[in-house]
Amino acid sequence: MPEWVIHSYTAENFCKLSRDVCDEINRFIDSNPLEHDVNRVIINGHWLPEALLYLAVYIYEKWGYEGLKCMLHHNLLDYTHSLASSGPYGAMIKRLALPGSAEPQIRRFVYIVLDNIVNDFLPILKIFEDGGGVYDIVQRVENRSLWRVEHLKSFVEVLKKSYIINFLKDLLKVIDELRDCIGLCVLEVIMTEFYNEKRFKDLCPWCFTSTFEEDFILIPEEYRGHPKNLAFRVHKNCFEELVRKAKEFLNEGLNEREILNKVMVKYMPPSIVWEAIKRAEEI
């Protein structure tokens, strides 16, 4: 799974999430005494809704809206890493050196997960909003016009919670917000996987030439402090060029996200450009 530093960095910088809350969620998910990644059951881009429901409700009760968003962000990055490190897409990245071929497919699967969450939970919200109740939802389950439920008693207990409508609305709102930022996070995970392969470790992601015996810097600094030294090696002059480009766009009045989209070349780690933007803002 991605290291916590990648979870935290992408959550805070690309999705504007609270690092403190996300750090708590990271610990809960990865150190849960019941099971690592408990209730993350994603099959062919479909997160089994009953498993997600119980996990999401627990997170929502304990950490609220922000925690719900951090939980989904964490699990989507774990899913990304699973796709990028094994199977046909992992082979493209590791053995065939084709991250550009793998990234669109992996990103598509992640967005399919988001689509399926909406498809699974929006009908329940609509039943409540149309004046229906728990009994109506159970009927839909029993006649198989809703998703399958293995633990009906637990399912009903969740539906009876006083905040269930607010929870469903917030879950769908979180999905919409993640659509705007998760693509950058997915790309960061894939690029980290690629550039930490031994034979690609020395490549500068900006110019894609070797940094061996050349003047380079490690970016982002936060990754550099990790025991595995996950930071990307970037030629110093390449980074200075990125900073210069970012500064030009800052002077034109563009915001950070607009600059990121303009400066970043295809299949480049977003963190490198993000750090260049932050450096440009200090100049």
- Domain assignment present for residue 146? The answer is yes
Task: Identify whether the C-beta of residue 268 lies closer than 8 Å to the C-beta of residue 43.
Answer: no
> Does any domain span residue 195?
no
Q: Which carries the bigger pLDDT value, residue 31 or residue 113?
A: 113
121 with 165, same domain: the answer is yes
Same domain, yes or no, for 22 and 141?
yes
Average pLDDT, the chain: 90
Query: How many domains does one find in the chain?
Result: 2
Whether 91 is covered by a domain: the verdict is: yes
- 74 within some domain: yes
Residue among 203, 204, 206, 193 nearest 244 (CA):
206
**Whether 68 and 153 share a structural domain:** yes
Residue 197 lies in a domain: no
Same domain (yes/no): 158, 254: no
Mapping DSSP to helix (H, G, I), strand (E, B) and coil, where does residue 32 land?
coil
Q: Which has the closest alpha carbon to 75: 100, 103, 52, 101? A: 52
Residue 30 has pLDDT above 90, yes or no: no
| Domain co-membership, 259 together with 131 | no
Q: Identify whether residues 74 and 45 lie together within a single domain.
A: yes
Domain containing 52 equals 4-190
Residue 92 lies inside a defined structural domain of this protein: yes
Same domain, 110 and 231: no
Positive/negative CA dihedral, 200, 103, 36, 169: positive
- pLDDT(32) > 80: no
- The reply to whether 129 falls in a domain is yes
Query: What's the whole-model pTM score?
Result: 0.92
Look at residues 81, 80, 36, 38 and name the one whose alpha carbon lies nearest to residue 59: 38
**Are both 180 and 261 inside the same structural domain?**
no
pLDDT more than 90, % of the chain: 68
Please say which residue of 190, 222, 238 terminates a domain. 190
User: Is residue 143 over pLDDT 50?
Assistant: yes
State the average pLDDT over residues 273-278. Answer: 96
Q: Looking at the domain assignment, is residue 278 inside a domain?
A: yes
* Domain final residue pick, 138, 168, 190: 190
Using the 3D structure, point to which of 164, 190, 216 is the last residue of a domain.
Answer: 190
> Residue 36 — pLDDT band, cuts 50, 70, 90?
very low
Q: Are residues 123 and 165 in the same domain?
A: yes
Domain co-membership, 276 together with 146: no
Same domain, 126 and 257: no
Whether residue 23 is found in the same domain as residue 140: yes
What is the C-alpha R_g of the chain?
A: 21
